[in-house]
């Protein structure tokens, strides 16, 4: 069975500066002030499978592989990861291909190198509304929309709990 994976980051405001277990800050100063990004991995049925959090001033491409490792189920072969144009990176595509994951994302408009995928694969991008809607559902939880937890592990727990409630709400 072919299963598509959808991933995207949702931005949530943060009140206090916190550190991760590695000692790096998980709150970044961005356009909207101090914010934290929660990246959510879901299958084609809008079921959240994994969550990671990161500072919002770090690029999301750095956390995609960590997000795939945080998945609670094994990735099927072949797996497809549907993402937006922010993930258009040839080294990332090579690393994901080595893991058996096809990255489906549009190429950036200012891309200099030749394109690596045709329009047939990009037709899968029309299902991105599912991840955008789920991110909107996660923003309905006040503790996620406005981060008030000082410890990043507590915030990650609240995001995971919101994903669980999102799953339970569907049944």
**Predicted confidence (pLDDT) at residue 85 exceeds the cutoff of 50:** yes
CATH of 3-170, one of 1.10.8, 2.60.120, 1.10.357, 3.30.420: 3.30.420
pLDDT of residue 29: 65
Tell me the pTM. Answer: 0.74
**Predicted confidence (pLDDT) at residue 15 exceeds the cutoff of 50:** no
Q: Which of 18-32, 39-53, 69-83, 92-106 has the lowest mean pLDDT?
A: 18-32
> At 2, is the pLDDT very low, low, confident or very high (cuts 50, 70, 90)?
very low
The most confident of 21-25, 57-61, 116-120, by mean pLDDT = 57-61
Domain boundaries, the chain: 3-170
pLDDT tens string 124-140:
677 777 778 888 888 88
Measured between alpha carbons, how far is 126 from 141 in angstroms, rounded to an integer? 26
Percent of the residues in the chain that have a pLDDT greater than 70, as a whole number = 76
> At 4, is the pLDDT very low, low, confident or very high (cuts 50, 70, 90)?
very low
């Amino acid at each position: 069975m072919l299963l598509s994976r959808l991933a995207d980051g949702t931005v949530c405001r943060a009140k206090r500066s916190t550190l991760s277990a590695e000692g790096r800050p998980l709150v970044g100063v961005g356009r909207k002030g101090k914010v934290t990004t929660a990246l959510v991995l879901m299958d084609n049925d809008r079921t959240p499978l994994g969550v990671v959090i990161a500072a919002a001033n770090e690029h999301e491409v750095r956390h995609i592989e960590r997000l795939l490792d945080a998945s609670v189920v094994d990735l099927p072969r072949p797996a497809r990861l549907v993402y937006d144009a922010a993930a258009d990176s040839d080294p990332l595509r090579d690393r994901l291909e080595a893991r058996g994951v096809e990255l489906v994302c549009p190429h950036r408009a200012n891309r200099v190198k030749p394109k690596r995928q045709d329009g047939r694969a990009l037709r899968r991008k029309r299902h991105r509304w599912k991840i955008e809607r789920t991110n909107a559902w996660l923003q309905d939880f006040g503790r996620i929309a406005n981060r008030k937890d000082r410890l990043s592990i507590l915030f990650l727990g609240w995001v995971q709990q919101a994903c669980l409630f999102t799953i339970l709400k569907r049944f």
